[in-house]
Each structure stands twice: as structure tokens, then as C-alpha cells.
Structure 1
Amino acid sequence: MNDMDIKELQQADAPELKEGVHGYSSETNWVKPENPVTLERLEWFKDQKLALMMHWGPYSQIEVESWILSDEDGDWARKDVDWTSDYEEMKREYFGLNRTFNPIRFQPELWAEIAAEGGFKYLIFTTKHHDGYCMWDTHTTNYRITGSETPFHAHRYADVCKHVFDVFRSKGLAIAAYFSKADWQSPYYWAPGMERGSNTWRGPSYSPGEYPWLWEQFVDFTHEQIMELMSLYGRIDILWLDAGWVKDSDQVKQDIRLGEVVERARQKQPWLLSADRTVGGPYENYVTPEQTIPERPLNVPWESCITIGTQWAFKYDDQYKSGRELVRILMEVVSKGGNLALNVGPQPDGRLPAGAVKSIKELGAWMKVYGEALYGTRVCGPYFTGSCAFTSKGNTVYCTYLYESADEAVAKHVHIPYQQPVLGIELVGSDAELQVERTPEGISITLPDGELNGQTPIAHVFRMQKGEEIK
């Protein structure tokens, strides 16, 4: 693989990934499934609205994700690597982090309780990131949480995926298994002594077309890992596939025969959704904007994955979004027809960061009262206006009127830009009667005096019934 080949591959990849952040597939690349079970499960998916995402592994010890291993991405990925300038030694140190990873304060039951309290409906958990470290008891590699080199391997919770999946299911949450299709520890992907030498990039260290026998070993290895997860770890609702550069296209020849293994998995789990992110085609059942929200509603199933803090992995001095900020993000996503996956990186000792837990509890307290405006809803114009987020469920329309800060004054008269006729309007969470007046721009609501005193709420949620208005 010469320098020109590498440049072409990087250019082909560029629209999908910039500084570790994935773009998302266009609506034109989405392929509607033919399988009626998959279509039914997509409707289920659109009902859920809120996921808890977790990036966790040995890298939590150094506050950076595995992207620092890629030389080609070093200009941005290594900005927090301040302990060395010897990047070959850094790679060796990184791959040795398994020998010190010992999260003895890991309490999966507490994780699940916090998630349920936060109003989350499904979990997206990193079974394996790009570094290849497996958080389940795989038999394909010793580079795993139950491997003999990891001190945690003898702990009662050593098979992390098993215990996390089991307790989250017991709390009623569905399970999505995050799995990186790339594997930078595998000798079948980053093969030592190949064309690129020690100069690493996110793709393989060789050309799969020139070394097909080596690539086939990687494909078999990947299929075996996926099938372990799909066969031995209970019900999995979503296979959430990262590393969108691993694909078969005119420019990028990294065909892992994904369709073959997904269909094998569906023989065991026919309800399985596949999120082959940024690739498009029949196995990207929904698209996944990252750290962003589309400007307008999308006409395909989608899910924005956004961090509660500032990065995916745990960071000691991270700053976490408040409950108010999380509600605003959530309502913008849902009003545009998407789901929201909020990511928290657990600490290296196994605990969830206190700042993230505080924000999750604030979100959960709000969801406990106003969740009816989200769960099971669909889009409704005018969607999101900045201060108002509209959703609908049958003949019921919800308007979530958002306040940006606790310092914002609550006005006596609230204006809702909704032009369609309604039978009546109620304030969710209150029995107070509302004074309502139709205006040329929409609806003016006079709030009861009790809503004007005290701390500014995160939002007022109005419940409206479609129908001819009572004169």
C-alpha cells in the first residue's frame, strides 16, 4: 500500500469522520428493510427516545480514548497526551493498560438503578472499542476483561457485559451492543511487519486485496466475536457498529461480509436491529449523528449520540451538562423525530462520575412528570422553534415550552406558534385551568399565578387535543 493509496483511502473516509466525530448518512442512503419484523422493531425503536451510552475500558485510566493509537489521527487525537513525545512507547504503554485495569468499585446494579431513575429506555454499551479490548469473556483473544493479565479477571463481576446486560434488562431497559468493526490490537488487522511498518492509521496495516488470506482471518475473527455476543449474552436488541471506514466500497476494500454475520445473528435474535453507522445500505437500519442535532426533521429513523460531559471516556475534571441543558437537547432531538443517546464514561474504579449522576437524576425527575410528551410520540409541525418543541401521540399534541436558564423570568402570557385547531389545552403536571386565546400567530396562554412564583422551571408542557375549537 503506497502513500497515494493511503491518501485516497483517507479522502474517501473524510466526509464520514473528522477528528474522531462521525458525520451521518444522508436520507438517500437509507434502505427501508423488507423484513416485516425489522420494520416493526424500528417502530419500537422510535418509541424509546432515550438511551444511556457508555464508553468504558482500560483507557479510562488515562482520560483519552483509543484514537491516540493512530498516527494518522495524532494531530488532533494526541492533544491531551502530555506525558510523552515518544509515541511508539506510548502505544506500548496503552496496550499494557489491561494489566492495571481493576475496577473493584463496579456495581452494575447501581448503574441500572441510576439509568432507570433517569428515564432511559435502552443501553448502548461498548463491548469493544477500536483498541480491540473486549469487555466480555471472549475466547478469541486474551486481550479482554477476563484475560489472565487483567487483575479484575477473578472478580465476581469480571464478565462485565454479562452482568451489565442482565441487570439493565431486569430494570426494563433494552440492550444495544456497541462493537467496533476495526481492531487495532488484532494481528489480523494491525499485522506487525506489514507495509506500513509502525506508522499506524485507522485502517489495516496492509492492503486486504494484496493479502486476502490475512484479511479472511480478520473476517473470521470478527464474525466469531459478534456471534459470541449474539449467542451467549441474552437478548440483544441492537447491534451498534462503529468504525464506518471498515466497509466495501470502490475506494475502501474492507469487506467483512457484514450481511452474512447479521443474518446469522438474526437466526438467533430475529428482532435484532443493525446500526452500521455512516455506511448506508441494508444494515444501517437507523442513522447516528454524533455530537450534533440535524437542522431539520429526518425522514428516516435516527439517533443522536451526545456526551453528558465533553468527551466519551472518563475525564477527571470533566464538566457535565445540567439537567436543564439535557432536557433542551432531548426535546430538540425528539421534536425532530430522533432518539437521544447520552454518553457517560465510567471511572476507572467502576463508579459513575458524581457530576454525571447529578445531571441524570435531574433529567429523570423531569421525565417522571413530563415523559408522556416524549415516549411513543411522533413528529408534529412546527417541530422545534427554539423555545417550543412539538410532539404528537394520536390526537394529542404536546408543546414543551423551554426556559434557557433559571434566571429567565416566567412571563404571565406564553405564546405557542401552533396554528391548527384544538379542543382544549392542559398544563401537564397541574390541575389549574388555563386562560387560552387564539391569535393570528398561534395560541396565547395565561399561566396561573402559582406558575409565576418560585424557581424558573425547566419547561412548561402543554397538552392539546386536536379538533374543532370550542367557540
Structure 2
Amino acid sequence: MRRFFLLTVAFHFSFFLLQAQTAKPAGVKTGKQVLDNFMDMRFGMFIHWGPVTLRGTEIGWSRNHQVAQNDYDSLYKEFNPVLFDAESWVKTAKTAGMKYLTITAKHHDGFCLWPSAFTPYNISNTPFRKDVVGLLAKACKKYGVKFCIYYTVLDWYSTDYPLHNNGTKQPDANGNMERFTLYMKNQLKELITNYHPYMLWFDGNWESPWTKEMGADMYAFIKSLDTSVIVNNRLGKGDHKTITDASVGDYATPEQVVGKMNMEYPWESCITISKQWSWKPNDELKTLQQCLQTLAGTSGGNGNLLLNISPMPDGRIEQRQINRLQEIGNWLQKNGEAVYGTLGGPFFPDSLKASTRKGNKIYLHLFASNKNQLQLVNVPGCTVKKAFFLNGATVDFQQSSQHIVLSWNGNMPDHNCSVLVLEMDQNVENVPLINNSSK
């Protein structure tokens, strides 16, 4: 009872505090340089994790479906991931070549991985009790990985949020979006002021109670707390894959697909390393080839890849996931020059290749290891000075008025994804995109 009273006092006190903060002028947007630096990173780790791992079903979505609501909502009482080690998670990300990390601080099920003062449904009331978000923020700072937070708009646990993923689209008459958006602001203030995230990754904006106007107000509130924090486009409405008039946020977020080539605005594909976002026993793991070609495809389309891993109920990342991430990191140790700090293009990605560019170099990410020749449309106004596999042998080339023909002996050096470099006679970063099919 005393805890409920303190929560109520904190909630009402925060109302007056937040009213004052939202009086700040609107219109602040994340700066271009901040977003350019974010896109230079190219590769990040997504982590979906919470009490639902005890059932091995999908986080949020299995509530009221695979797992009965009362069972799902009680899982936190037995959630005790005693082998959780924040530094181990962050070092795994760093070894994989990932530059930022995003944790599901609150998913659609409403459970909070930090000790929020505004709901008892949080990590401090589990047997584990430790602040997962705080420990990860500290570890990220220690190892030079940017710390980011996932926070969903919808909340099927909250009585103020009108929908509960229970098979009906009829809003709960007891719902109150004014109270709920205040709850969101209180929690976002906690997260921003206590953990200083580099980026906020929103989700759940598609349900009808949430409006674009609410998203715009929330974006302005976030910027009143931290002008530099990056916000994805799922705070508004509309298609996640693109930035439209309905969007609120800084960059687009295609999901489980590689985004299309886009030089106009930043984007990031979020894709699982297995099939399910949250941990599932014996879930099918993507091959190294799939992971590398996905990374090449996103960077070749001028986007980032946020690759999701799913820790187990005891807090460990599965060794097979760690092994796959280490393999990606080994590849990036040799080929990272062709990924980090590059622009996509100038060639459109296709089934056999992707390309990135930096300065006077074009990096061709080649997928078909059994080929020993490649024909490309000429890069307008540019001459090839040298061709070679990155950290490897030189490649023969012939350049005519229309084409560049590249050839080499034997198979490519890496059957998963090889990088062939074209050194040009001038800077190619502003060359128009070329729609060229590999031959």
C-alpha cells in the first residue's frame, strides 16, 4: 500500500513538472551531422529480452495467444537471469564489429527492464532485481559502444492503454490516453536523464489509439530533454519502411527485409539472427553467408543493419549466436573498410552484388563465389586506375566507352562475400546511381 501511495505521489508530482517542460518551443530536429555519424556506423546489435523467455515464445505478441494473460503477466515473479553479464553482452557486440546496441527496455507487454518509479511491473520486483538497462548503459560506455533504448508506444499491460491484444479491436472504456501519454513522458524522462541513450527506437505506433499529433508532441518533449538524441520513424504513423508526411522521427526502419537503395534519407533494417525476435529453443540460425550478404545489402543500399540476438532465460547469449557474431566480426576485421563510413552505390544492389563507396574507391561486395568475371556499366566521367580484392590479389580489368570488365583466376577469396575494390581517378561519392545488373 505504501509503495502504491509513493507511486501515486510521484506520478502527480511529475505531471506539473512535465507540463513546464513541454512549454519549450517545438521544432527542434536531430542535426544532420548527428545522423551522418549514426549512418557511418552501419552495424548495430538489437536485443529482445524479458521474462517471456521463460516460455520461449515471442515477446509481447504471445500474450493472450500462446501464453495465457495471467501466466504471461506473472512470469516476472520467477525471472531470475543469474548469468546475465552486461559486459559480456557488450563485448560480444564489439567483437562482432557492432558500433551500437539497442535493448528492449519496454516491449508491448509493458514490462520494464529498469526500476521505473511509475510502475511496479519492472525488473526491481523480480528475484533478479538488478537494473539491466543501467548495467548495459555502463558497459557500453566502458567499451565504446553507443547505447540505445527500444521503447514501444503501445502497452497491452497498462489499464490506461485502451487495447490489450486480447482478440478484440474494441477499445477498453477504462482506457485514458491522456494519462497514458503522461506515463510515457514520465518513463522517457527517466530513461533519458538516467541513462543518456544515443538513440531511442520506438515501436507499436500502428494501433488506433496513437495519433501522429501524439507522436509529434512526444518528439518535442524528447528534444526538450536532449536535443541530440536520435529517434526512429515509429513515433508517428505510416509505413515503417519510408519517411512520409505521416512519419515522426529521424530515420526509416524496414523490418525483416533489406531496405531499398535510398540516398535521400537515413534508414536502418532490423533483422533477426534467428527467426523469432525473443529467445526460442532450437530456433533456426541464419548462416554466416546470409548475415554477411545482408550486411552488404544494407550498406550497399545506403542503410544500417540492426541485427537482433535473443538471450536465454538465464541471461546468457547462446554460444551458437556468439560464434556467428564472432565470424561476422572476423570478416569485418578484414573488410570493414568497405562497410564503415561508406555511402551506398554507385551501383544498385542485386542478387550477385552490392556496392559501397568512399573517396575515390568503389567496393564491390560479390556474392557468387564460383564466378571469375564481372561486367559493369561505366561510372560516368571516371576511369579505373586499379582493381584488386581487398587485402588480396590484383584483378585484371578492361574499360571501354561503355563497360568495365573485371576478371581473375580461380574462385573469389571468400565464398560468403568477397570485396573487390575499384580505385578510380577521382572522388566518386557524388556520382549518380547506376542501375546495372551483374553479368
**Normalising to structure 2: TM-score of the pair?**
0.81
Aligned match of 1:425: 386
User: What percentage of aligned pairs have identical amino acids?
Assistant: 26
Please state how far the C-alpha of 1:379 moved relative to its aligned partner. 2.2
Tell me how far apart the structure 2 counterparts of residues 41 and 203 of structure 1 sit (CA, whole Å).
41
2:177 to 215, 221, 240: 215
Superposed CA deviations along residues 201-232 of structure 1, whole A, max 9, x for unmatched, are 57852386xxxxx3322121111011100111
Aligned match of 2:14: none
Aligned CA distance change for structure 1 residues 66 and 203 (closer, same or farther; 3 Å)? farther
Please state how far the C-alpha of 1:299 moved relative to its aligned partner. 2.9
Aligned match of 1:5: none
- Residue type of the alignment partner of 2:282: D
Matched, 1:391 2:347: no
Matched, 1:116 2:94: yes
Please state how far the C-alpha of 1:323 moved relative to its aligned partner. 1.6
Structure 1 SS opposite 2:31: helix
Matched, 1:376 2:341: yes
Moved more, 358-367 or 457-466: 457-466
Tell me how far apart the structure 2 counterparts of residues 447 and 236 of structure 1 sit (CA, whole Å).
47
2:199 to 232, 238, 244: 238
Tell me how far apart the structure 2 counterparts of residues 55 and 372 of structure 1 sit (CA, whole Å).
29
Aligned CA distance change for structure 1 residues 256 and 59 (closer, same or farther; 3 Å)? farther
Superposed CA deviations along residues 209-261 of structure 1, whole A, max 9, x for unmatched, are xxxxx33221211110111001111x3111111101257xxxx5657833344
Aligned match of 1:68: 62
Structure 2 SS opposite 1:67: coil
| Mapping 1:173-188, distance limit 5 Å | 173-188=145-160
Tell me how far apart the structure 2 counterparts of residues 266 and 297 of structure 1 sit (CA, whole Å).
26
Please state how far the C-alpha of 1:351 moved relative to its aligned partner. 0.4
Moved more, 296-305 or 47-56: 296-305
> Are the counterparts in 2 of residues 415 and 442 from structure 1 also a CA contact under 8 Å?
no
Aligned match of 1:263: 220
Tell me how far apart the structure 2 counterparts of residues 305 and 327 of structure 1 sit (CA, whole Å).
14
> Are the counterparts in 1 of residues 102 and 147 from structure 2 also a CA contact under 8 Å?
yes
Aligned CA distance change for structure 1 residues 221 and 202 (closer, same or farther; 3 Å)? farther
Tell me how far apart the structure 1 counterparts of residues 375 and 56 of structure 2 sit (CA, whole Å).
44
Please state how far the C-alpha of 1:423 moved relative to its aligned partner. 3.4
- Residue type of the alignment partner of 1:182: L
Please state how far the C-alpha of 1:290 moved relative to its aligned partner. 0.7
Tell me how far apart the structure 2 counterparts of residues 399 and 115 of structure 1 sit (CA, whole Å).
25
Tell me how far apart the structure 2 counterparts of residues 165 and 426 of structure 1 sit (CA, whole Å).
43
Tell me how far apart the structure 2 counterparts of residues 107 and 256 of structure 1 sit (CA, whole Å).
40
Please state how far the C-alpha of 1:276 moved relative to its aligned partner. 3.6
Structure 1 SS opposite 2:323: helix
Aligned CA distance change for structure 1 residues 180 and 428 (closer, same or farther; 3 Å)? same
Please state how far the C-alpha of 1:184 moved relative to its aligned partner. 1.6
Aligned CA distance change for structure 1 residues 397 and 255 (closer, same or farther; 3 Å)? closer
Aligned CA distance change for structure 1 residues 203 and 123 (closer, same or farther; 3 Å)? farther
Tell me how far apart the structure 2 counterparts of residues 253 and 130 of structure 1 sit (CA, whole Å).
14
Matched, 1:45 2:38: yes
Please state how far the C-alpha of 1:428 moved relative to its aligned partner. 4.4
Aligned match of 1:286: 251
Aligned match of 2:373: 414
2:139 to 164, 167, 172: 167
- Residue type of the alignment partner of 2:415: P
> Are the counterparts in 2 of residues 38 and 273 from structure 1 also a CA contact under 8 Å?
no
1:437 to 398, 407, 420: 398
Please state how far the C-alpha of 1:332 moved relative to its aligned partner. 1.1
Aligned match of 1:400: 365
Please state how far the C-alpha of 1:266 moved relative to its aligned partner. 2.5
Aligned CA distance change for structure 1 residues 202 and 182 (closer, same or farther; 3 Å)? farther
Matched, 1:55 2:51: no
- Residue type of the alignment partner of 1:66: G
Aligned match of 2:421: 463
Please state how far the C-alpha of 1:426 moved relative to its aligned partner. 3.9
- Residue type of the alignment partner of 1:38: G
> Are the counterparts in 2 of residues 236 and 269 from structure 1 also a CA contact under 8 Å?
no
Tell me how far apart the structure 2 counterparts of residues 331 and 362 of structure 1 sit (CA, whole Å).
15
Aligned match of 1:136: 114
> Are the counterparts in 2 of residues 51 and 122 from structure 1 also a CA contact under 8 Å?
yes
Tell me how far apart the structure 2 counterparts of residues 253 and 417 of structure 1 sit (CA, whole Å).
48
Aligned CA distance change for structure 1 residues 169 and 104 (closer, same or farther; 3 Å)? same
State the structure with bigger RCO (CA 8 A, min sep 6), 1 or 2: 1
- Residue type of the alignment partner of 2:393: A
Tell me how far apart the structure 1 counterparts of residues 377 and 174 of structure 2 sit (CA, whole Å).
57
> Are the counterparts in 2 of residues 423 and 464 from structure 1 also a CA contact under 8 Å?
yes
Tell me how far apart the structure 1 counterparts of residues 170 and 266 of structure 2 sit (CA, whole Å).
28
Please state how far the C-alpha of 1:105 moved relative to its aligned partner. 0.6
- Residue type of the alignment partner of 1:363: I
Superposed CA deviations along residues 40-64 of structure 1, whole A, max 9, x for unmatched, are 2221222111110000000111112
Tell me how far apart the structure 2 counterparts of residues 431 and 293 of structure 1 sit (CA, whole Å).
28
**Normalising to structure 1: TM-score of the pair?**
0.76
> Are the counterparts in 1 of residues 259 and 303 from structure 2 also a CA contact under 8 Å?
no
Tell me how far apart the structure 2 counterparts of residues 285 and 305 of structure 1 sit (CA, whole Å).
16
Aligned CA distance change for structure 1 residues 61 and 394 (closer, same or farther; 3 Å)? same
Structure 1 SS opposite 2:345: strand
